Amino acid sequence: MSQVESRGTVVIAVDRCKGCELCIPACPPAVLSMSVDQNAIGFAYPELAPGCTGCGACLLVCPDFCFAVYGYDEPVLHEEEDTACAP
Chain contacts with ligand SF4 (rule: CB under 6 A): 8, 10, 17-23, 26-29, 31-32, 45-46, 48, 52-58, 61-62, 64, 66, 69
15 vs 84 by CB, closer to ligand SF4: 15
Least distance from ligand SF4 to the Cβ atom of residue 60, Å: 8
Phi, psi at residue 31, to the nearest 5°? -105, 10
5 vs 21 by CB, closer to ligand SF4: 21
Would you give the DSSP letter of residue 58?
Answer: H
In angstroms, the CA 26 to CA 23 distance is 5
Is there a contact between 1 and 50 (Cβ–Cβ < 8 Å)? Answer: no
